[in-house]
Amino acid sequence: MSPAAFALCLGFGVLVGTFSGLLGLGGGVLLVPFLYWLLPQVFDGSADPEVLTVMAHATSLSVIVLASSSGVWAYHRKDAVARPTLLAMGLGAVVGATLGARAATEVPAGALKAGFGVLLVAAGLRLVADRRRRTAAAPPRGGWGLAAAGGAGTGFLAALMGVGGGILAIPFLIYAVRLDLKKVAGTSLGMIAFGATAGTLTYVLSGLGAQGRPAGALGYVFLPATLALAPGAVAAARLGAWLNQRMDVRLLRRVFALVLVVLGLRLAWLNGTALAALF
Protein backbone atom coordinates (compact mmCIF):
# COMPACT_ATOMS: atom_id res chain seq x y z
CA MET A 1 0.00 0.00 0.00
CA SER A 2 1.34 3.41 -0.98
CA PRO A 3 2.15 6.09 1.63
CA ALA A 4 -0.77 8.16 0.32
CA ALA A 5 -3.22 5.27 0.77
CA PHE A 6 -1.82 4.56 4.24
CA ALA A 7 -2.28 8.22 5.21
CA LEU A 8 -5.81 8.17 3.82
CA CYS A 9 -6.60 5.16 6.01
CA LEU A 10 -5.16 6.90 9.06
CA GLY A 11 -7.42 9.88 8.46
CA PHE A 12 -10.48 7.78 7.72
CA GLY A 13 -9.89 5.80 10.90
CA VAL A 14 -10.13 9.05 12.86
CA LEU A 15 -13.36 9.88 11.03
CA VAL A 16 -14.82 6.44 11.79
CA GLY A 17 -13.93 6.67 15.47
CA THR A 18 -15.32 10.18 15.81
CA PHE A 19 -18.66 9.38 14.18
CA SER A 20 -18.94 6.09 16.07
CA GLY A 21 -18.57 7.86 19.40
CA LEU A 22 -20.64 10.88 18.37
CA LEU A 23 -23.64 9.05 16.93
CA GLY A 24 -23.41 5.64 18.60
CA LEU A 25 -22.88 4.13 15.17
CA GLY A 26 -20.95 0.91 14.59
CA GLY A 27 -17.73 1.47 12.67
CA GLY A 28 -18.38 -1.36 10.24
CA VAL A 29 -21.11 0.52 8.38
CA LEU A 30 -18.46 3.11 7.47
CA LEU A 31 -15.44 0.84 7.10
CA VAL A 32 -16.91 -1.66 4.65
CA PRO A 33 -18.03 0.87 1.99
CA PHE A 34 -14.68 2.63 2.32
CA LEU A 35 -12.84 -0.67 1.80
CA TYR A 36 -15.09 -1.54 -1.15
CA TRP A 37 -13.66 1.60 -2.75
CA LEU A 38 -10.10 1.47 -1.40
CA LEU A 39 -8.99 -2.08 -2.15
CA PRO A 40 -9.58 -1.96 -5.94
CA GLN A 41 -7.61 1.31 -5.99
CA VAL A 42 -4.72 -0.21 -4.05
CA PHE A 43 -4.46 -3.30 -6.25
CA ASP A 44 -5.44 -1.54 -9.50
CA GLY A 45 -7.03 -4.53 -11.23
CA SER A 46 -4.34 -7.02 -10.18
CA ALA A 47 -6.59 -8.91 -7.73
CA ASP A 48 -9.82 -10.85 -8.15
CA PRO A 49 -12.81 -8.55 -7.40
CA GLU A 50 -14.59 -11.43 -5.66
CA VAL A 51 -11.64 -11.81 -3.29
CA LEU A 52 -11.45 -8.06 -2.67
CA THR A 53 -15.09 -7.96 -1.56
CA VAL A 54 -14.46 -10.67 1.03
CA MET A 55 -11.28 -8.85 2.07
CA ALA A 56 -13.29 -5.67 2.67
CA HIS A 57 -15.54 -7.51 5.14
CA ALA A 58 -12.63 -9.33 6.79
CA THR A 59 -10.46 -6.23 7.15
CA SER A 60 -13.34 -4.22 8.62
CA LEU A 61 -13.92 -6.98 11.17
CA SER A 62 -10.23 -6.99 12.14
CA VAL A 63 -10.42 -3.27 12.95
CA ILE A 64 -13.56 -3.87 15.01
CA VAL A 65 -11.66 -6.45 17.12
CA LEU A 66 -9.25 -3.76 18.30
CA ALA A 67 -11.85 -1.03 18.71
CA SER A 68 -14.36 -3.18 20.63
CA SER A 69 -11.71 -4.72 22.89
CA SER A 70 -10.56 -1.25 23.92
CA GLY A 71 -14.12 -0.08 24.54
CA VAL A 72 -15.33 -3.06 26.53
CA TRP A 73 -12.40 -2.73 28.94
CA ALA A 74 -13.53 0.82 29.75
CA TYR A 75 -17.07 -0.43 30.45
CA HIS A 76 -15.69 -3.29 32.56
CA ARG A 77 -13.79 -0.86 34.77
CA LYS A 78 -17.07 0.99 35.40
CA ASP A 79 -18.85 -2.29 36.27
CA ALA A 80 -21.17 -1.68 33.31
CA VAL A 81 -21.02 -5.22 31.87
CA ALA A 82 -23.45 -8.04 32.68
CA ARG A 83 -20.86 -10.82 32.84
CA PRO A 84 -23.11 -13.93 32.82
CA THR A 85 -25.09 -12.57 29.87
CA LEU A 86 -21.88 -11.58 28.11
CA LEU A 87 -20.38 -15.04 28.57
CA ALA A 88 -23.44 -16.74 27.07
CA MET A 89 -23.78 -14.26 24.21
CA GLY A 90 -20.04 -14.28 23.60
CA LEU A 91 -19.87 -18.06 23.28
CA GLY A 92 -22.85 -17.99 20.92
CA ALA A 93 -21.22 -15.20 18.92
CA VAL A 94 -18.01 -17.21 18.54
CA VAL A 95 -19.94 -20.08 16.96
CA GLY A 96 -22.11 -17.81 14.82
CA ALA A 97 -19.24 -15.60 13.66
CA THR A 98 -17.14 -18.60 12.69
CA LEU A 99 -19.96 -19.87 10.49
CA GLY A 100 -20.72 -16.39 9.15
CA ALA A 101 -17.15 -15.67 8.10
CA ARG A 102 -16.91 -19.06 6.45
CA ALA A 103 -20.18 -18.44 4.61
CA ALA A 104 -18.91 -15.08 3.32
CA THR A 105 -16.15 -16.83 1.41
CA GLU A 106 -18.75 -18.90 -0.46
CA VAL A 107 -21.26 -16.15 -1.28
CA PRO A 108 -20.90 -14.21 -4.58
CA ALA A 109 -19.48 -10.70 -4.18
CA GLY A 110 -22.61 -9.08 -5.61
CA ALA A 111 -24.82 -10.84 -3.08
CA LEU A 112 -22.56 -9.72 -0.23
CA LYS A 113 -22.76 -6.11 -1.40
CA ALA A 114 -26.53 -6.26 -1.81
CA GLY A 115 -26.89 -7.76 1.66
CA PHE A 116 -24.67 -5.06 3.07
CA GLY A 117 -26.88 -2.48 1.34
CA VAL A 118 -29.91 -3.84 3.18
CA LEU A 119 -27.93 -3.63 6.43
CA LEU A 120 -27.07 0.03 5.74
CA VAL A 121 -30.74 0.86 5.23
CA ALA A 122 -31.59 -0.83 8.54
CA ALA A 123 -28.74 1.01 10.29
CA GLY A 124 -29.94 4.34 8.93
CA LEU A 125 -33.51 3.74 10.07
CA ARG A 126 -32.36 2.63 13.50
CA LEU A 127 -30.14 5.70 13.82
CA VAL A 128 -33.16 8.02 13.75
CA ALA A 129 -35.50 5.70 15.67
CA ASP A 130 -33.09 4.64 18.45
CA ARG A 131 -34.25 5.78 21.88
CA ARG A 132 -32.87 2.87 23.92
CA ARG A 133 -35.72 2.89 26.39
CA ARG A 134 -38.51 0.48 27.19
CA THR A 135 -42.09 1.59 27.47
CA ALA A 136 -42.38 -0.02 30.91
CA ALA A 137 -40.09 -1.51 33.49
CA ALA A 138 -39.81 -5.26 33.22
CA PRO A 139 -37.71 -7.88 35.01
CA PRO A 140 -34.91 -9.62 33.10
CA ARG A 141 -35.95 -12.81 31.37
CA GLY A 142 -34.40 -15.79 29.67
CA GLY A 143 -31.30 -17.70 30.64
CA TRP A 144 -28.12 -18.81 28.96
CA GLY A 145 -30.02 -20.41 26.10
CA LEU A 146 -31.73 -17.19 25.03
CA ALA A 147 -28.54 -15.14 25.33
CA ALA A 148 -26.46 -17.74 23.47
CA ALA A 149 -29.01 -17.98 20.66
CA GLY A 150 -29.05 -14.20 20.30
CA GLY A 151 -25.27 -14.12 20.27
CA ALA A 152 -25.09 -16.85 17.63
CA GLY A 153 -27.54 -15.13 15.29
CA THR A 154 -25.91 -11.75 15.75
CA GLY A 155 -22.42 -13.18 15.34
CA PHE A 156 -23.34 -14.96 12.12
CA LEU A 157 -24.82 -11.90 10.40
CA ALA A 158 -22.14 -9.56 11.75
CA ALA A 159 -19.22 -11.66 10.53
CA LEU A 160 -20.93 -12.30 7.20
CA MET A 161 -21.32 -8.54 6.66
CA GLY A 162 -18.03 -7.45 8.26
CA VAL A 163 -19.64 -5.36 11.01
CA GLY A 164 -19.76 -5.50 14.79
CA GLY A 165 -23.41 -6.40 15.19
CA GLY A 166 -24.54 -3.76 17.66
CA ILE A 167 -27.51 -2.95 15.42
CA LEU A 168 -28.88 -6.39 16.38
CA ALA A 169 -27.32 -6.97 19.80
CA ILE A 170 -28.56 -3.79 21.48
CA PRO A 171 -32.29 -4.24 20.66
CA PHE A 172 -31.97 -7.92 21.60
CA LEU A 173 -30.51 -7.07 25.01
CA ILE A 174 -33.11 -4.37 25.67
CA TYR A 175 -36.28 -6.08 24.50
CA ALA A 176 -35.58 -9.83 24.59
CA VAL A 177 -33.21 -10.20 27.56
CA ARG A 178 -34.53 -7.03 29.29
CA LEU A 179 -31.07 -6.23 30.55
CA ASP A 180 -30.40 -3.28 32.85
CA LEU A 181 -30.05 -0.37 30.41
CA LYS A 182 -26.86 0.81 32.13
CA LYS A 183 -25.18 -2.45 31.11
CA VAL A 184 -26.52 -2.81 27.57
CA ALA A 185 -23.77 -0.93 25.72
CA GLY A 186 -20.90 -2.62 27.55
CA THR A 187 -22.39 -6.10 27.23
CA SER A 188 -23.10 -5.57 23.53
CA LEU A 189 -19.54 -4.37 22.96
CA GLY A 190 -18.16 -7.40 24.77
CA MET A 191 -20.19 -9.75 22.58
CA ILE A 192 -18.90 -7.86 19.53
CA ALA A 193 -15.32 -8.40 20.70
CA PHE A 194 -15.91 -12.16 21.02
CA GLY A 195 -17.62 -12.47 17.65
CA ALA A 196 -15.27 -10.18 15.75
CA THR A 197 -12.23 -12.06 17.05
CA ALA A 198 -13.64 -15.44 16.01
CA GLY A 199 -14.77 -14.07 12.66
CA THR A 200 -11.41 -12.47 11.93
CA LEU A 201 -9.52 -15.67 12.76
CA THR A 202 -11.86 -17.60 10.47
CA TYR A 203 -11.28 -15.12 7.64
CA VAL A 204 -7.53 -15.47 8.15
CA LEU A 205 -7.54 -19.26 8.14
CA SER A 206 -10.05 -19.56 5.29
CA GLY A 207 -8.02 -17.26 3.07
CA LEU A 208 -4.55 -18.71 3.55
CA GLY A 209 -4.84 -20.89 0.46
CA ALA A 210 -7.31 -18.77 -1.49
CA GLN A 211 -6.72 -18.25 -5.19
CA GLY A 212 -6.24 -14.63 -6.24
CA ARG A 213 -5.27 -13.44 -2.76
CA PRO A 214 -3.02 -10.37 -3.18
CA ALA A 215 0.30 -9.70 -1.49
CA GLY A 216 0.08 -8.10 1.93
CA ALA A 217 -3.00 -10.07 2.94
CA LEU A 218 -3.06 -12.40 5.93
CA GLY A 219 -5.72 -14.77 4.73
CA TYR A 220 -8.52 -12.42 3.72
CA VAL A 221 -7.37 -9.63 6.05
CA PHE A 222 -5.39 -6.81 4.43
CA LEU A 223 -3.05 -6.04 7.31
CA PRO A 224 -1.68 -2.67 6.10
CA ALA A 225 -5.22 -1.27 6.06
CA THR A 226 -5.98 -2.75 9.49
CA LEU A 227 -2.85 -1.21 10.98
CA ALA A 228 -3.62 2.17 9.42
CA LEU A 229 -7.33 2.31 10.26
CA ALA A 230 -7.32 0.91 13.80
CA PRO A 231 -5.34 3.56 15.76
CA GLY A 232 -7.55 6.44 14.70
CA ALA A 233 -10.75 4.42 15.08
CA VAL A 234 -9.83 3.47 18.65
CA ALA A 235 -8.50 6.86 19.78
CA ALA A 236 -11.10 9.09 18.12
CA ALA A 237 -14.05 7.16 19.57
CA ARG A 238 -13.34 8.93 22.86
CA LEU A 239 -13.35 12.28 21.05
CA GLY A 240 -16.72 11.42 19.52
CA ALA A 241 -18.15 10.45 22.90
CA TRP A 242 -16.86 13.73 24.37
CA LEU A 243 -18.46 15.74 21.55
CA ASN A 244 -21.72 13.84 22.01
CA GLN A 245 -22.02 15.24 25.52
CA ARG A 246 -21.55 18.80 24.26
CA MET A 247 -23.52 18.90 21.00
CA ASP A 248 -27.12 18.53 19.87
CA VAL A 249 -26.63 15.69 17.40
CA ARG A 250 -30.27 15.19 16.39
CA LEU A 251 -29.96 16.93 13.02
CA LEU A 252 -26.62 15.25 12.34
CA ARG A 253 -28.15 11.85 13.08
CA ARG A 254 -30.94 12.49 10.58
CA VAL A 255 -28.57 13.65 7.84
CA PHE A 256 -26.23 10.72 8.42
CA ALA A 257 -29.15 8.30 8.48
CA LEU A 258 -30.27 9.64 5.10
CA VAL A 259 -26.76 9.10 3.69
CA LEU A 260 -26.74 5.50 4.95
CA VAL A 261 -30.19 4.77 3.51
CA VAL A 262 -29.31 6.23 0.10
CA LEU A 263 -25.98 4.39 -0.03
CA GLY A 264 -27.65 1.17 1.10
CA LEU A 265 -30.40 1.42 -1.50
CA ARG A 266 -27.81 2.05 -4.20
CA LEU A 267 -25.77 -1.02 -3.21
CA ALA A 268 -28.89 -3.17 -3.01
CA TRP A 269 -30.17 -1.91 -6.38
CA LEU A 270 -26.88 -2.40 -8.22
CA ASN A 271 -26.31 -5.87 -6.79
CA GLY A 272 -29.85 -7.09 -6.13
CA THR A 273 -29.81 -9.60 -8.99
CA ALA A 274 -26.89 -11.46 -7.41
CA LEU A 275 -28.69 -11.60 -4.07
CA ALA A 276 -31.94 -12.78 -5.66
CA ALA A 277 -30.05 -15.54 -7.48
CA LEU A 278 -29.25 -17.16 -4.14
CA PHE A 279 -32.96 -17.84 -3.64
In sequence order, the 6+-apart residues with CB closer than 8 A to the CB of 168 are 153, 154, 157, 158
* Residue 146 scores a pLDDT above 80: yes
- Given this model, what pLDDT does residue 76 score? 83
Dihedral Cα 212, 106, 222, 268, nearest 10 deg: 110
Q: Read off the pTM.
A: 0.89
The CA-based angle 197-199-203, given to 5 degrees, is 115
pLDDT level of residue 180 (50, 70, 90 thresholds): confident
Residue extents of the structural domains in the chain:
3-277
CB 102, CB 200: distance < 8 Å = no
What is the rounded CA–CA span in Å between residue 99 and residue 103?
6
- Given this model, what pLDDT does residue 36 score? 96
pLDDT level of residue 140 (50, 70, 90 thresholds): low
First to last CA, the chain: 38
pLDDT in tens, 81-127: 899 999 999 999 999 999 999 999 999 999 999 999 999 999 888 87
- Given this model, what pLDDT does residue 268 score? 92
Region 47-58: what's the mean pLDDT?
94
What is the rounded CA–CA span in Å between residue 96 and residue 119?
17
Region 180-208: what's the mean pLDDT?
92
What is the rounded CA–CA span in Å between residue 72 and residue 26?
14
Region 220-225: what's the mean pLDDT?
96
Region 196-206: what's the mean pLDDT?
96
